[in-house]
């Protein structure tokens, strides 16, 4: 395939805001709009695209939307469930009708557990959500502190002392007691949401749910000490060693009844789409849904964190909204109206397979590979998948998961296993690609050694060592919270490197090690060309440095984000702690003006 000229920009901005992206969360996703330009550039309609770290299937969706075929694979059972859910087309009206039906059945089976008494007129109504708070015990006086009740400054600042003896409050060391409900939200007679205090009726239904025998039937999986997320999320301390424990008794029973009703739907496609909407609500239906004084904060996808004030949100409210979100996403995937639903998603397959063993794909059978590599030690997919997979009845086999463990027994040899897996994955990508065709790899990391490892693995697989294109991919700003919590050393932009499989079998270029240029010089070059408009963060600079070095075939092992941060500070740049963006401090203005 001849590419002349490449219609690809050097910087691809794809905010994570579209209907498809937001419909069903998975740990990380490349938005469809970021993948589309690559598909257009490197394939023709009808050709086959493979993604061997397919996670929630965005490559397959982008391929189907562009009239291409796709062969997706991943070890993730949850990823396969989500991707096939996205790619299941059903009629809007049938889906709404089926959703209403299952909610009706589940509500009847739930009985009165969501019922409460409206404060204003005493009417029996359903609770929309209940706010719960952690309770702590003061080690000095044994008095209780209900966290929510002692928040300061309009609920934005944590309590700082014991309300009884004024001993300083230290969250890490104070013992916790049972969580308590602190506020209920219902609809008033006009249908508007109103807050009210927790009353007798609430306490009665909460107690009734806690004694309900159906609690023993909630699908659940253990998260034991062998899982990295066990220690990272401090699960042992709070007794959260089973996925079912993340749900309040009322929500656990509502979910169970809804799941049963969904499985009673005879039409397999409708059942599949409803199950997709169901798993999409699980984090918010759990205690992981974080309360905040201003507006609800999402559940954190990458950890099992429960905030000291959290929601118990009506499962049915969440589900109704998710079904509408699924309808909006499907309009993007399949076309807006039934008449225009001409996109063929039948030729997108999703196989459970490790990327270093693509046995389902024949040699030279694929026209293009687009894949987003696992980044190392930040996110533990299979551990987080347990939360959803408890309901799916099948679990990701993580024996060959490409992650770098940082705790427990798996820490030993973690880097070597990760490297071996990536090498195997590139070798397989090379094998299945037709000669002369392209592989695009999304990757981000703050450690130059990992970059070097990836660069060598690609080259050793046989790809030409000079990429045909390197783009910076900006998926939008990470949360301000993430940046504030001291993680400015986390990369927030990735690179997309595109490499060619030589047309002739042994025309690959295995030139030896790349020359090494001093970090200071590489950084200096990018900084010299930096605009002081400051709409960028340090990750952009780091990515630009890597891009230049990769283009120029220089070694990158010694290029760490931390060095870039130091160089930026030395040059007088500052990082705004609220936005994470780079601002030119006084010194920088002076030194740039002097140049």
Nearer to ligand SAM, 308 or 374 (CB): 374
300 binds ligand SAM (CB under 6 A): no
User: Which one of 157-165, 394-402, 458-466, 468-476 is the stretch in contact with ligand SAM (CB under 6 A)?
Assistant: 394-402
Q: How far is the CB of 362 from ligand SAM (least distance, A)?
A: 19
**Selected binder of ligand SAM within 38, 86, 319, 375 (CB under 6 A):** 375
Q: Residue with CB nearest ligand SAM?
A: 375
**Shortest CA distance to 24 belongs to which of 67, 56, 59?**
56
402 binds ligand SAM (CB under 6 A): yes
Site string for ligand SAM, 265-294 (x = CB under 6 A): ------------------------------
**Selected binder of ligand SAM within 19, 325, 379, 420 (CB under 6 A):** 379
38 binds ligand SAM (CB under 6 A): no
Q: How far is the CB of 583 from ligand SAM (least distance, A)?
A: 28
Nearer to ligand SAM, 301 or 553 (CB): 301
Close Cβ partners of 157 (under 8 Å, ≥ 6 residues apart): 151
401 binds ligand SAM (CB under 6 A): yes
DSSP assignment letter at 62 = H
Contact yes or no for 241/220 (Cβ under 8 A) = no
Nearer to ligand SAM, 35 or 146 (CB): 35
Chain position carrying tokens 């952009």: 540
Contact yes or no for 567/530 (Cβ under 8 A) = no
Contact yes or no for 331/65 (Cβ under 8 A) = no
Contact yes or no for 511/493 (Cβ under 8 A) = no
65 binds ligand SAM (CB under 6 A): no
350 binds ligand SAM (CB under 6 A): no
389 binds ligand SAM (CB under 6 A): no
**Shortest CA distance to 312 belongs to which of 126, 541, 49?**
126
> Tokens in use for 198?
């927790």
DSSP assignment letter at 12 = E
Q: How far is the CB of 531 from ligand SAM (least distance, A)?
A: 28
Q: Is 526 helix (H, G, I), strand (E, B) or coil?
A: helix
> Tokens in use for 220?
């659940």
**Selected binder of ligand SAM within 355, 404, 495, 565 (CB under 6 A):** 355
Contact yes or no for 420/404 (Cβ under 8 A) = no
| Torsion, Cα of 583, 584, 587, 590 (10° steps) | -170
55 binds ligand SAM (CB under 6 A): yes
Nearer to ligand SAM, 72 or 182 (CB): 72
Q: Give the integer Cα–Cα distance in Å for 455 and 439.
A: 13
Close Cβ partners of 592 (under 8 Å, ≥ 6 residues apart): 532, 584
**Selected binder of ligand SAM within 354, 500, 519, 537 (CB under 6 A):** 354
Helix segments in 138-213, DSSP class H: 200-210
Angle between helix axes 414-432 and 448-461 (nearest 10 degrees) is 40
> Tokens in use for 575?
């990082």
Q: How far is the CB of 412 from ligand SAM (least distance, A)?
A: 19
Nearer to ligand SAM, 358 or 530 (CB): 358
Q: How far is the CB of 58 from ligand SAM (least distance, A)?
A: 9
Phi, psi for residue 344 in degrees, rounded to 5? -100, 110
473 binds ligand SAM (CB under 6 A): no
508 binds ligand SAM (CB under 6 A): no
Nearer to ligand SAM, 236 or 413 (CB): 413
* Beta strand 124-126 pairing with 129-137: unpaired
Q: Is 530 helix (H, G, I), strand (E, B) or coil?
A: coil
Q: How far is the CB of 248 from ligand SAM (least distance, A)?
A: 29
Q: How far is the CB of 53 from ligand SAM (least distance, A)?
A: 4
Q: How far is the CB of 416 from ligand SAM (least distance, A)?
A: 15
CA angle (590 as vertex; 585, 591 as ends), nearest 5: 100
Phi, psi for residue 166 in degrees, rounded to 5? 65, 15
The sign one gets for the Cα dihedral 267, 270, 273, 275 is negative
372 binds ligand SAM (CB under 6 A): yes
Q: How far is the CB of 55 from ligand SAM (least distance, A)?
A: 3
H or E element, residue 588? helix 586-594
Angle between helix axes 77-86 and 381-392 (nearest 10 degrees) is 60
CA angle (582 as vertex; 577, 588 as ends), nearest 5: 120
Residue 574 — left, alpha, or beta (φ > 0 → left; ψ -120 to 50 → alpha)? Answer: beta
447 binds ligand SAM (CB under 6 A): no
360 binds ligand SAM (CB under 6 A): no
Q: How far is the CB of 346 from ligand SAM (least distance, A)?
A: 23
Nearer to ligand SAM, 50 or 530 (CB): 50
- Sequence length of the chain is 595
Close Cβ partners of 116 (under 8 Å, ≥ 6 residues apart): 124, 125, 126, 127, 184, 186, 199, 201, 202, 205
**Selected binder of ligand SAM within 374, 462, 508, 580 (CB under 6 A):** 374
571 binds ligand SAM (CB under 6 A): no
Nearer to ligand SAM, 12 or 102 (CB): 12
- Partner residues linked to 583 by β-bridges: 574
**Selected binder of ligand SAM within 20, 25, 28, 316 (CB under 6 A):** 28
Nearer to ligand SAM, 399 or 594 (CB): 399
Q: How far is the CB of 415 from ligand SAM (least distance, A)?
A: 15
Nearer to ligand SAM, 351 or 579 (CB): 351
421 binds ligand SAM (CB under 6 A): yes
User: Which one of 106-114, 368-376, 467-475, 543-551 is the stretch in contact with ligand SAM (CB under 6 A)?
Assistant: 368-376
Q: Give the integer Cα–Cα distance in Å for 453 and 473.
A: 20
User: Which one of 98-106, 148-156, 269-277, 370-378 is the stretch in contact with ligand SAM (CB under 6 A)?
Assistant: 370-378
**Selected binder of ligand SAM within 47, 74, 383, 389 (CB under 6 A):** 74
Q: Which residues bind ligand SAM (CB under 6 A)?
A: 27-28, 52-53, 55, 74-76, 79, 354-355, 372-375, 379, 381, 400-402, 421
């Amino acid at each position: 395939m001849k590419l002349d000229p490449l219609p690809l920009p050097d910087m691809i901005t794809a905010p994570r805001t579209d209907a498809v992206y937001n419909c069903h969360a998975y740990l990380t996703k490349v938005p469809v709009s970021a993948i589309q330009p690559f598909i257009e550039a490197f394939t023709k309609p009808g050709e086959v695209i493979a993604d061997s770290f397919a996670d929630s299937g965005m490559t397959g969706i982008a391929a189907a939307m562009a009239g291409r075929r796709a062969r997706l694979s991943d070890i993730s059972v949850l990823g396969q469930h989500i991707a096939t859910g996205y790619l299941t087309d059903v009629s809007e009206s049938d889906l709404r009708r089926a959703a209403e039906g299952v909610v009706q059945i589940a509500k009847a089976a739930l009985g009165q557990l969501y019922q409460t008494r409206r404060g204003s007129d005493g009417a029996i109504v359903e609770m929309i959500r209940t706010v719960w708070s952690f309770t702590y015990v003061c080690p000095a006086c044994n008095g209780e502190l209900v966290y929510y009740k002692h928040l300061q400054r309009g609920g934005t600042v944590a309590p700082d002392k014991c309300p009884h003896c004024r001993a300083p409050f230290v969250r890490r060391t104070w013992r916790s007691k049972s969580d308590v409900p602190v506020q209920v939200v219902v609809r008033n007679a006009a249908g508007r949401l109103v807050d009210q205090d927790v009353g007798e009726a609430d306490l009665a239904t909460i107690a009734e749910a806690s004694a309900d025998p159906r609690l023993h039937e909630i699908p659940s999986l253990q998260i034991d000490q062998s899982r990295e997320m066990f220690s990272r999320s401090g699960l042992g301390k709070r007794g959260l060693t089973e996925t079912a424990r993340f749900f309040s008794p009322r929500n656990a029973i509502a979910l169970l009844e809804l799941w049963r009703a969904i499985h009673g739907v005879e039409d397999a496609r409708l059942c599949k789409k409803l199950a997709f909407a169901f798993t999409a609500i699980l984090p918010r239906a759990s205690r992981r849904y974080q309360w905040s004084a201003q507006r609800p904060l999402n559940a954190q996808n990458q950890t099992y964190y429960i905030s000291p004030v959290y929601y118990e949100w009506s499962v049915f409210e969440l589900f109704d909204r998710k079904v509408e979100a699924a309808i909006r996403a499907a309009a993007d995937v399949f076309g807006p109206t039934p008449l225009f639903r001409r996109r063929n998603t039948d030729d997108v397959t999703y196989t459970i397979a490790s990327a270093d063993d693509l046995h389902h794909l024949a040699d030279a059978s694929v026209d293009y590979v687009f894949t987003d590599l696992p980044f190392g030690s930040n996110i533990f997919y299979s551990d987080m998948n347990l939360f959803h997979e408890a309901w799916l009845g099948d679990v990701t086999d993580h024996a060959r998961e490409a992650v770098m463990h940082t705790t427990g027994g798996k820490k030993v040899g973690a880097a070597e296993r990760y490297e071996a897996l990536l090498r195997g994955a590139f070798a397989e990508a090379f094998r299945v690609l037709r000669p002369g065709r392209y592989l695009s790899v999304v990757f981000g990391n703050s450690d130059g050694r990992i970059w070097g490892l990836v660069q060598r693995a690609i080259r050793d697989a046989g790809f030409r060592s000079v990429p045909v294109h390197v783009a910076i991919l900006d998926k939008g700003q990470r949360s301000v919270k993430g940046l504030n919590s001291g993680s400015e050393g986390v990369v927030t932009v990735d690179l997309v490197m595109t490499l060619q499989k030589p047309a002739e079998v042994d025309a690959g270029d295995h030139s030896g090690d790349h020359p090494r240029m001093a970090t200071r010089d590489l950084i200096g070059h990018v900084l010299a060309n930096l605009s002081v408009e400051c709409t960028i963060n340090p990750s952009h600079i780091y990515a630009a440095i890597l891009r230049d070095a990769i283009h120029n075939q220089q070694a990158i092992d010694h290029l760490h984000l931390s060095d870039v941060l130091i160089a930026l500070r030395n040059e007088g740049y500052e990082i705004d702690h609220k936005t994470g963006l780079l601002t030119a401090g006084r010194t920088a203005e002076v030194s740039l003006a002097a140049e």
